[in-house]
Amino acid sequence: MAREASWFKSSYSSDNGIGSCVSVAALGDRVGIRDSKQQNGPTFVAPTAAWSSFIREVKSGRWAT
């Protein structure tokens, strides 16, 4: 299912030569997350609610160093 999904990179990702970004795909009630440099590599799949919670935490700045 994850291989056939429509993957996208964040608009915050840049083509700076480092390639340090992830691709994300909606998989119904789950979200696929993968390294954008390894499109055929492993995929982490998480419940949509968990992914949404993670994104909220990141945006809050609480974990910024």
Q: Where are the domains of the chain?
A: 8-60
Would you place residue 1 in the very low, low, confident or very high pLDDT band (cuts 50, 70, 90)? low
**φ, ψ (nearest 5 deg) of residue 2:** -65, -35
Decide if pLDDT at 25 tops 90.
Answer: yes
Angle CA(63)–CA(5)–CA(46) in degrees, nearest 5?
A: 35
Q: Which among 49, 44, 9 has a CA at the least distance from the CA of 29?
A: 49
- Please tell me which of 1-5, 18-22, 54-58 the model is most confident about, judged by mean pLDDT: 54-58
